[in-house]
Amino acid sequence: MQPEPKRNEPAKEPQHKSEAPRGVRIDVHSREDPGPDRFWWYVGVGVIVLILVVLFLIIPGVKGYKAYRAMQQSGVPETYVTNMAKLIEDKQIAEAKQAALETERNVALADAQQSLETLSSCQNNIDTCKSEAASQKKQCDALIDSFSKDADTLKSDLATCQQEVKTAADKTTAVISDAARRLCCVQRVENPASNSYAVVESRIVCVQDGGKPITC
C-alpha cells in the first residue's frame, strides 16, 4: 500500500498576545463542616454564661426580694428599707475612717515604741551616770575624810606648837625679867631713879619710866 498523501493544513498564526489570567474559582462546598465538636463547645460556653448570670444576677435579686418581703412582713418601717443605702454608705465611711484611725494608731505606736527605746537609752545613761557619780562621791568622801583627819592632826600639832611657843616665850620672859632685875638693881645703886627696864634691839636697858617695873 502506498502512503496516504499529506493534506495541506492551514498554517497556525503565532500567538503574540498574552492570555488573560484565569479567575480563581472558589468552591463554596470545599469549606470544612464545623462538626459536632464546635457545636458542643458553643453549648458549653452558653451554659457557663447562664450559670454566671444566675449566680451574680438572679440569686442576689431573689435574696434581696426575700429580705425585703421578710422586713415588710415583720413590720419594719418602710423608712428603714429606704434608708438602707444611706446606712451602707455610712458604714463604708465609718470603715474608711476606722482604717485611717488604724493607720494613725500604728504610726503613733511606732512613735511610742521609738520614744520608749529613746527613754530606755536615756535611763541606761542616767543609771551609768549615777553609778559613776556614786563612785566619784565615794572617792571624794574618802578624800574629805582623809583631809579632815589631816586637818585635825594639823590643828593638834598647831596647838602643841603654840603651847610650846607660849612656854618658850614665858621662859624667855622670865629669864629676861630675872636678868633685867639683876642688872637694873645693880644700876639702881648708882641711879636710884631706875625703876623699870626695856628690851631694845635685843639688849636690856634700864629706864626710869615707861618700861616693865622691877623689884629689887
Per-residue pLDDT of 5-18, as tens digits, reads 444 444 444 444 44
Long-range CB pairs of 172-180 (<8 Å, 24+ gap) are 176/204, 177/212, 177/214, 179/204, 180/204, 180/206, 180/212, 180/214
At residue 71, the pLDDT reads 62
CB 188 within 8 A of CB 194: yes
At residue 12, the pLDDT reads 45
Per-residue pLDDT of 133-170, as tens digits, reads 999 999 999 999 999 999 999 999 999 999 999 999 88
Set of cell numbers at residue 152: 585635825
Looking at mean pLDDT, say which of 42-56, 148-162, 194-208 comes out highest. Answer: 148-162
The mean pLDDT of the chain is 77
At residue 9, the pLDDT reads 44
